[in-house]
C-alpha cells in the first residue's frame, strides 16, 4: 500500500522490513520454525500490525483499559505482557486498531455500542500514553482505516446491517458524508443473520480487498467474506463486487466453531499476508472461551484471497516469513550455499575490487563468504559482502542470459537488488532453500550447469526450478565477527568473570552480576543483529529476557537488568571489536559502556553503565557457547581415536577431493583440525546433526556415494547437503563421542583398533568398542588478529620535513601468534581506491600526500583494525615569480623601483628564497620586504627558491632597465633656460639626454672682469635650480626627474646683471616675489624697484627669439625659462614655492 506523500501514514499492511532478528544457530540453515494456535484465550476482535521489528496486538477488552501486547515474534506475541496505554472511561470498548501517522500513533475503537473514537499518542512510542482526539461517528462501530494509493483516507465501519464508508480529511476529522458499501444479501450471508460487520481493508499486489464478517460471534454460522475493489470512487458501492463466500467458516473437525472478524497483517519481510481471527470454541456464551488464532492467507491467479480452512489449534504452523524465530531477516550476515554444488557464494580473495566476478568456493567461514542482507523493498534485499565491502551486482542491469555477476560499490540500483523466494513456500514446508531473482534483469542467480568446481563464476539465467538456482542460507560472522542468533558467553577482560543471570532468574528487573564460568545457560547470551552494528543480548535461562538499561537511564553507574524484549534503544547495544580481539558494548539509549566496576573479580559484582574510558573493565571476551552436546558450534576440534591414540587426519595436508582420511600422531596441524557445524531444527532441542570440515582443505568428511557397506573408507569431499556428510554425535560416559554417518547408519571406526600410523578410517556397525570412540579436543580459540607492519623503501624520507622526493616501495609484513601459516590474506588500498590482495611491495609514486590503508586476516576470521601509513612525496621544486612596483614620492634622487618575490609550493612548502642583484652577494629574501633597485640604467636580478623537501628551483633572471621621468623637453636652438631640480648627484649627463659635450654659458660677475663662463668645466659641475643658463641646443633635449627637487631658499644677487631662473615647476607671479637686502629687510618686487635694489623688468631669450623679451611687473616667471635681472646693490631674491609645495611628484 502506498503512503500519503504529504504525511507518513502507515496502514496495517505497510510491510516493514526492519525485523529485529532472532536467527538460528550459526550453522543451522534457515528453515521455518513453528507456533501453535491459539495466540490468546479470553479475548476477541484481534488486530495485529508489524512495525520496526515488532508485532503489535490489540483486542476487545471489557475493562475499559486499552492495552497493547508487543513481541518480535508471533510465537511469543500472545504471552507478551499487556501494556496499558489509555483508559476509555467507559464500561467497555471493542475492536481497537492501531495506525501510525506523521510519527504519532492513533488508536480507533468503538466506545459502548455505536461510537468510533480516535486517540492520539503523546510520543512516537506506540506503547506510550495516549490522549483523546475526537469522536468520529455516533452510529457506527468496528472502525477501520482505508488508505488509498493517492493518500486519501476513509473510515470504514458497520451499522449492524451494512458496511459503510466515510471520507476523512485527516486521521481524526470527518471529511464527508457516510455511504453504504455492502449489505448482507448473499444466500450464505442471510443464513447467518442480519449482522454484517468488522470491515478490514488490505492491499495485495495493487489489489484492494475488504474482509468482513456476518452473523453473531457466538453462533456457529459466524463466517467471513470479502469485497473486491474494481476501481472508481472508493466510497461508491458500484466500485466493488462481492467474492463468492463464505471465504472462512466453521470446521468442527479442526476444533474451530465460530471463526470471524479476520484482520490481515503482513509477515515481517513483507513476502506473505496473514490474518488473525476470533473463534468461540464454546457456544454456550462464555467470553472466557473466546480465542484468537492466526494463519497464512493465500491468493489465486486473479489475486483473490484464499483463507483456506482453519488450522486446528495445537497443530504446528510455520512462522511468517521473516519472523525472527528462524527465517530470512535483514541486518544480519549469512553464507549462501548453492544446493547443487554445495559451495558458497564468495568474493574472490576478499578483493573488495569493483568489477571482480563472484564465484563459488569451498565453505570456509571467512568474511568473503559472509553476506549482510539489507532490505530494499518488500521481499527484496541487497547482498553486502563483509570482507569486500561491495554489493552483489548485475553489471549495467543486463538481462542477457549468462551475464556473470560482479562486485560493485553499493549504489541502491535495482541491479543490486535481489528478490528472495522460499522454495515450496511455508505452507508446504518447502526444502528451506531460496532462489534469488535480480530485480533489474528478472533472471535468477545461477550456478552454470550445477558445477561443483571451486572458482565457478556465477551467472544470471532464466528461472528453471533446478537446484543450481537454489541457495541455503546459514547465519555467518558479520563485520564484527559475530553470528546473529548464536549463543555466546561474555567474559570481563579485567575481572575474568562471566556476565551472569543470577540463578537463571526469569523475573523481569533482575540485576545482572559477574560470576565464575560454569557452562550454565544463565551465562549463555543469544546475540541478535538489529542492523548497522547494533545488537540485542537475550539470556537463554531467563525465558528470553534481554540485557536492558532501566528506563534508558543516561546516568553513569546505572545497574543493568533483565527485561522483556521491546526493541527499544535501552536494549540495543553497539558491539565493536577492539584491536586486541576483545569487544566493547555501548548502550544505544545511554551512550555508556557495559562496565565491570573497578575491574572487579569478585563473584556477585553488579554490572553497570559507565562513560567509555578505554579500560579493560569495559572490554569483554565474546566466545561461542557450547550447545547441548557440549560442542561449540563452528569451533575447531581434533578427533583422537580412543583405541589408537591417533588423530583423524588428512594425509600430507592434501587439499584434493577424494583423499582418504587416516590416523596420525597429533602434530597440531590444520590438516588434523575439523570445524564442527550443526544442522537441525534450532537451538533448544539438542537434536543436532553435524558436518566436519577440515580446516586445512575446506573439504568435508564424506561417505563416498553415501555407501552403507561396512568397511567403506572415508575421504574428504566438496561440501554439499547430502546426508553422506552428516553425522550424529553420541556422547559416551567417558566424555568421548561416537560419530554415526546419517547416510550409512554406520559409525566412524578405526579398523581393528589399529595403532598403525596411516591407518585409513572406515565405517562399521556400532559395537561399543573404543575403536569407535573419539575424544574431541577443542583447539584453542584464536581471537587475536594478525599484526601487519609497513616498511617503506627508502626506510626514511630522503627529503626534509618527513618528505620523500621520489617513488617509495612499501613492503607489508605480517605476524600472527599462531604462525605465518595462520595468516589467510593481507589487503591494502592506496589513496581510497578499492581494496586488493597484497602480493608484492606496493609502489607509491606521484607528488601527493598518500595514504596506504592495510590489514590482514587469519584463518579463524580475525581481522585486524585497518592501519594506515602516510607517505609524503614532493619531487617538484617551488615556483617563484617577480613583480616590480614603483617607489613612493620619498625615493632618493636617483630613482628606484621595488621588486617583490613570491614563491609557491603546493606540497611540502617553501623553505627559502634567494637572490643576487647586479652580480652581488647572494642574499636570503625576506617575505613581504621587496628588493629595492636604484639607479637609472640596466639591472640584473637573479632569484630562486627551495622547498622543505629539498627541491631547488632553477635560477630565474630578470633584467630591469630603470629610466627617469621626463620633466621638460627643450626645443633645439639658442635660448635661456632654468631647471627645477638639483642635479649635483648625477651631473650633467644624468640630468638630460643632450649630446655629450653640450655646454651652457653663465654670466659671472664675481670675476675681476665680468664675463660669460661655460659649464661644465669639471665633473663636479651640475645644473642647479634658481640659476639661469644660455644654451645652444642642436636637438630636442629631455630633462629627467633624476635630481633633487628644489625646496626654495634665497637666490643671491650681485650688483649688476644676474642670470636667474624659476626653481619650481609651476609659474610664479612676480608680485609674489620678495627682495631681501643685506640688512634683512624684505620688499615686494615693486618696492625693491622703488628702493633702487633691483630693476623690476626682467629679460629673457626664449627659443626662436631674435631679441630679448621683457618680463615686467604683473608678468609671470615661467618654469624652465632663464631670465636677466639687474641688481643695483647686493641682495637676494625670494621666490615662494607654489601652493601645495613642489609641483613635481615622484611615481
Count of domains for the chain: 7
Tens of pLDDT, residues 942-973: 999 999 999 999 999 998 887 778 899 999 99
Q: Are residues 67 and 156 in the same domain?
A: yes
Residue 875: per-residue pLDDT: 94
CA distance 583 to 481: 10
Tens of pLDDT, residues 745-773: 899 998 998 889 889 999 999 898 888 89
Residue 1089 lies in a domain: yes
What's the pLDDT band for 1096 if we cut at 50, 70, 90? confident
The rounded Cα 794 to chain-centroid distance in angstroms is 35
What's the pLDDT band for 328 if we cut at 50, 70, 90? low
What's the pLDDT band for 667 if we cut at 50, 70, 90? confident
What's the pLDDT band for 534 if we cut at 50, 70, 90? confident
Q: Are residues 613 and 669 in the same domain?
A: no
Q: Are residues 537 and 441 in the same domain?
A: no
Q: Are residues 180 and 311 in the same domain?
A: yes
Q: Are residues 253 and 123 in the same domain?
A: yes
**CATH number of the domain where residue 841 is located:** 2.60.40.10
Tens of pLDDT, residues 36-46: 889 988 888 99
Residue 647 lies in a domain: no
Q: What does the pLDDT average to over 639-667? A: 90
Q: Are residues 731 and 823 in the same domain?
A: no
CA distance 383 to 385: 6
Q: Are residues 194 and 240 in the same domain?
A: yes
Q: Are residues 939 and 802 in the same domain?
A: no
Burial 509-519 (b: 16+ CB within 10 A, else e): ebebbbbeeee
**CATH number of the domain where residue 715 is located:** 2.80.10.50
Q: Are residues 237 and 124 in the same domain?
A: yes
Among 719, 750, 778, the domain-final residue is: 778
Residue 1107 lies in a domain: yes
Q: Are residues 139 and 261 in the same domain?
A: yes
Tens of pLDDT, residues 850-880: 999 999 988 767 889 899 999 999 999 999 9
Residue 915 lies in a domain: yes
The rounded Cα 341 to chain-centroid distance in angstroms is 35
CA distance 122 to 106: 10
Residue 431 lies in a domain: yes
Q: What does the pLDDT average to over 1117-1122? A: 92
Residue 633 lies in a domain: no
DSSP state of 626: B
Q: Are residues 946 and 902 in the same domain?
A: yes
CA distance 855 to 1129: 106
- 2, pLDDT greater than 60: no
CA distance 739 to 751: 15
Residue 809: per-residue pLDDT: 96
Question: Which residue range is the domain that position 267 belongs to?
Answer: 9-23+30-318
Of 32, 589, 722, 671, residue with least CA distance to 324: 32
CA distance 906 to 33: 64
Q: Which residue has the cell 505482557?
A: 81
**CATH number of the domain where residue 129 is located:** 2.115.10.20
Task: Kindly report the number of other CB atoms within 10 A of residue 532's CB atom.
Answer: 9
Q: What does the pLDDT average to over 804-815? A: 95
Of 161, 163, 193, 308, residue with least CA distance to 249: 308
Q: Are residues 986 and 940 in the same domain?
A: no
What's the pLDDT band for 354 if we cut at 50, 70, 90? confident
Strand ranges (E), 874-999: 879-886, 896-904, 910-917, 923-924, 931-934, 937-947, 956-962, 966-970, 973-977, 981-982
Burial 594-618 (b: 16+ CB within 10 A, else e): bbbbebbeeeebebbbbeeeeeebb
Radius of gyration of the chain (CA): 50
Strand ranges (E), 522-572: 525-531, 534-539, 545-548, 561-564
Residue 1144 lies in a domain: no
Among 453, 475, 497, the domain-final residue is: 475
The rounded Cα 865 to chain-centroid distance in angstroms is 17
Q: Is 571 left (phi over 0), alpha (psi -120 to 50) or beta?
A: alpha
Residue 814 lies in a domain: yes
Q: Which residue has the higher pLDDT, 334 or 396?
A: 396
Among 873, 895, 929, the domain-final residue is: 873
**Element (DSSP H or E) covering residue 725:** none
Greatest mean pLDDT range, 143-152, 467-476, 1003-1012:
143-152
Amino acid at each position: 500500500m502506498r503512503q500519503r506523500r504529504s504525511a507518513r501514514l502507515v496502514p496495517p499492511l505497510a510491510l516493514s522490513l526492519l525485523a529485529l532478528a532472532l536467527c538460528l544457530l550459526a550453522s543451522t540453515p534457515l528453515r521455518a520454525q513453528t507456533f501453535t494456535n491459539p495466540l490468546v484465550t479470553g479475548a476477541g476482535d484481534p488486530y495485529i500490525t508489524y512495525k520496526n521489528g515488532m508485532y503489535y496486538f490489540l483486542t476487545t477488552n471489557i475493562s475499559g483499559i486499552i492495552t497493547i501486547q508487543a513481541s518480535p515474534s508471533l510465537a511469543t506475541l500472545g504471552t507478551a505482557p499487556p501494556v496499558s496505554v489509555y483508559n476509555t472511561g467507559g464500561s467497555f470498548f471493542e475492536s481497537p486498531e492501531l495506525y501510525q501517522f506523521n510519527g504519532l500513533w492513533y488508536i480507533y475503537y468503538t466506545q459502548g455500542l455505536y461510537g468510533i473514537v480516535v486517540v492520539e499518542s503523546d510520543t512516537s512510542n506506540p506503547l506510550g500514553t495516549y490522549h483523546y482526539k475526537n469522536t468520529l461517528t455516533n452510529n457506527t462501530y468496528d472502525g477501520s482505516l482505508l488508505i488509498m494509493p493517492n493518500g486519501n483516507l476513509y473510515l470504514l465501519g458497520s451499522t449492524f446491517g451494512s458496511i459503510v464508508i466515510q471520507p476523512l480529511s485527516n486521521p481524526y476529522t470527518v471529511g464527508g458524508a457516510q455511504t453504504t458499501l455492502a449489505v448482507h444479501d448473499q444466500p450464505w450471508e442471510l443464513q447467518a443473520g442480519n449482522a454484517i460487520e468488522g470491515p478490514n481493508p488490505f492491499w495485495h499486489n495493487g489489489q484492494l480487498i475488504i474482509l468482513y464478517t456476518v452473523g453473531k460471534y457466538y453462533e456457529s454460522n459466524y463466517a467471513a467474506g470479502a469485497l473486491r475493489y474494481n476501481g472508481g470512487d472508493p466510497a461508491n458501492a458500484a466500485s466493488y463486487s462481492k467474492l463468492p463466500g463464505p471465504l472462512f467458516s466453521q470446521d468442527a473437525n479442526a476444533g474451530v466453531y465460530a471463526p470471524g472478524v479476520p484482520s490481515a497483517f503482513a509477515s515481517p519481510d513483507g513476502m506473505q499476508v496473514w490474518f488473525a481471527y476470533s473463534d468461540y470454541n464454546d457456544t454456550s456464551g462464555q467470553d472466557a472461551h473466546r480465542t484468537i488464532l492466526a494463519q497464512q492467507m493465500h491468493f489465486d491467479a486473479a489475486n483473490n484471497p484464499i483463507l483456506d480452512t482453519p488450522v486446528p489449534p495445537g497443530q504446528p504452523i510455520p512462522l511468517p516469513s521473516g519472523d525472527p524465530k528462524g527465517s530470512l531477516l535483514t541486518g544480519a550476515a549469512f553464507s549462501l550455499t548453492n544446493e547443487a554444488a554445495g559451495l558458497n557464494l564468495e568474493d574472490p580473495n576478499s578483493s573488495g575490487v569493483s568489477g571482480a566476478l563472484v564465484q563459488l568456493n569451498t565453505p570456509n567461514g571467512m568474511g568473503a563468504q559472509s553476506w549482510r542482507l539489507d532490505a530494499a523493498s518488500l521481499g527484496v534485499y541487497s547482498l553486502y559482502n563483509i570482507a569486500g565491502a561491495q554489493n552483489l551486482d548485475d553489471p549495467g542491469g543486463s538481462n542477457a542470459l549468462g551475464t556473470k555477476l560482479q562486485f560493485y560499490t553499493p549504489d541502491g540500483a535495482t541491479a543490486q537488488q535481489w528478490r528472495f523466494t522460499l522454495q515450496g513456500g511455508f505452507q508446504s514446508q518447502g526444502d528451506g532453500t531460496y532462489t534469488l531473482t535480480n530485480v533489474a534483469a528478472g533472471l535468477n542467480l545461477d550456478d552454470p550447469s550445477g558445477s561443483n568446481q571451486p572458482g565457478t563464476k556465477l551467472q544470471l539465467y532464466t528461472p528453471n526450478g533446478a537446484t543450481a538456482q537454489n541457495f541455503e542460507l546459514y547465519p555467518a560472522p558479520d563485520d564484527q565477527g559475530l553470528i546473529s542468533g548464536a549463543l555466546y558467553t561474555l567474559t570481563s577482560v579485567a575481572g575474568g568473570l562471566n556476565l551472569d543471570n543470577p540463578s537463571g532468574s526469569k523475573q523481569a528487573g533482575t540485576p545482572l552480576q559477574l560470576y565464575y564460568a560454569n557452562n550454565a545457560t544463565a551465562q549463555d547470551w543469544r546475540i541478535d543483529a538489529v542492523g548497522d552494528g547494533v545488537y540485542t543480548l537475550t539470556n537463554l535461562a531467563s525465558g528470553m529476557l534481554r540485557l536492558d538499561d532501566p528506563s534508558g537511564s543516561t546516568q553513569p553507574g546505572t545497574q543493568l537488568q533483565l527485561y522483556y524484549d521491546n526493541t527499544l534503544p535501552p536494549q540495543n547495544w553497539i558491539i565493536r571489536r577492539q584491536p586486541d580481539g576483545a569487544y566493547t558494548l555501548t548502550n544505544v539509549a545511554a551512550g555508556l559502556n557495559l562496565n565491570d566496576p573497578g575491574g572487579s573479580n569478585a563473584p556477585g559484582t553488579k554490572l553497570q553503565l559507565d562513560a567509555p574510558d578505554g579500560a579493560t573493565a569495559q572490554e569483554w571476551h565474546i566466545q561461542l557457547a557450547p550447545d547441548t552436546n557440549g560442542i561449540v558450534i563452528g569451533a575447531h576440534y581434533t578427533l583422537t581415536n580412543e583405541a589408537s591414540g591417533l588423530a583423524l587426519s588428512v594425509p600430507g595436508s592434501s587439499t584434493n577431493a577424494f583423499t582418504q582420511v587416516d590416523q596420525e600422531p597429533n602434530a597440531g596441524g590444520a590438516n588434523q583440525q575439523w570445524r564442527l557445524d550443526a544442522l537441525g531444527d534450532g537451538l533448544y532441542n539438542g537434536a543436532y546433526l553435524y558436518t566436519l570440515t577440515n580446516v586445512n582443505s575446506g573439504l568435508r568428511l564424506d561417505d563416498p556415494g553415501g555407501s552403507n557397506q561396512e568397511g567403506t573408507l572415508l575421504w574428504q569431499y566438496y561440501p554439499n547437503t547430502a546426508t553422506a556428510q552428516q553425522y550424529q554425535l553420541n556422547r559416551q560416559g567417558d566424555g568421548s563421542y561416537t560419530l554415526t554417518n546419517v547416510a550409512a547408519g554406520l559409525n566412524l571406526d578405526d579398523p581393528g583398533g589399529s595403532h598403525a600410523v596411516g591407518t585409513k578410517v572406515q565405517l562399521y556397525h556400532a559395537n561399543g568398542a573404543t575403536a569407535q570412540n573419539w575424544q574431541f579436543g577443542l583447539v584453542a580459540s584464536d581471537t587475536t588478529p594478525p599484526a601487519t607492519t609497513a616498511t617503506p623503501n627508502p626506510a626514511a624520507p630522503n627529503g626534509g620535513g618527513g618528505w620523500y622526493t621520489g617513488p617509495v616501495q612499501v613492503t607489508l609484513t605480517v605476524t600472527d601468534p599462531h604462525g605465518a601459516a595462520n595468516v589467510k590474506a593481507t589487503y591494502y588500498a592506496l589513496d581510497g581506491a578499492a581494496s586488493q590482495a597484497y602480493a608484492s611491495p606496493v609502489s607509491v609514486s606521484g607528488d601527493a600526500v598518500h595514504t596506504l590503508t592495510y590489514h590482514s586476516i587469519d584463518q579463524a576470521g580475525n581481522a585486524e583494525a585497518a592501519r594506515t601509513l602516510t607517505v609524503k612525496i614532493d619531487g617538484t621544486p617551488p615556483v617563484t615569480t617577480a613583480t616590480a612596483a614603483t617607489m613612493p614620492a620619498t625615493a632618493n634622487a636617483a630613482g628606484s623601483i621595488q621588486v617583490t618575490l613570491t614563491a609557491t609550493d603546493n606540497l611540502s612548502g617553501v623553505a627559502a628564497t634567494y637572490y643576487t642583484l647586479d652580480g652581488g652577494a647572494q642574499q636570503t629574501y625576506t617575505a613581504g620586504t621587496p628588493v629595492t633597485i636604484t639607479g637609472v640604467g640596466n639591472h640584473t636580478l637573479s632569484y630562486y627558491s627551495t622547498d622543505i623537501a629539498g627541491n631547488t628551483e632553477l635560477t630565474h633572471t630578470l633584467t630591469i632597465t630603470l629610466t627617469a621621468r621626463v620633466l621638460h623637453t627643450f626645443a633645439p636652438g639658442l635660448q635661456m633656460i632654468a631647471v627645477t631640480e638639483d642635479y649635483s648627484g648625477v651631473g650633467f649627463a644624468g640630468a638630460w639626454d643632450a649630446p655629450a659635450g653640450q655646454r651652457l654659458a653663465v654670466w659671472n660677475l664675481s670675476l675681476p672682469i665680468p664675463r660669460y663662463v661655460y659649464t661644465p668645466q669639471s665633473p663636479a659641475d651640475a645644473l642647479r635650480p634658481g640659476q639661469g643658463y644660455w644654451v645652444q641646443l642642436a636637438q630636442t633635449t629631455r630633462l629627467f626627474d633624476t635630481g633633487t627637487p628644489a625646496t626654495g631658499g634665497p637666490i643671491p644677487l650681485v650688483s649688476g646683471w644676474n642670470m636667474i631662473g624659476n626653481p619650481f615647476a609651476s609659474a610664479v607671479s612676480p608680485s609674489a616675489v620678495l627682495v631681501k637686502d643685506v640688512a634683512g629687510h624684505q620688499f615686494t618686487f615693486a618696492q625693491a624697484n622703488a628702493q633702487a635694489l633691483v630693476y623690476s623688468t626682467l629679460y629673457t631669450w626664449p627659443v626662436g627669439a631674435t631679441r630679448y623679451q621683457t618680463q615686467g611687473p604683473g608678468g609671470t616667471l615661467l618654469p624652465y625659462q632663464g631670465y636677466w635681472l639687474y641688481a643695483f646693490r647686493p641682495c637676494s631674491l625670494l621666490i615662494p614655492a607654489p601652493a601645495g609645495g613642489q609641483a613635481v611628484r615622484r611615481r
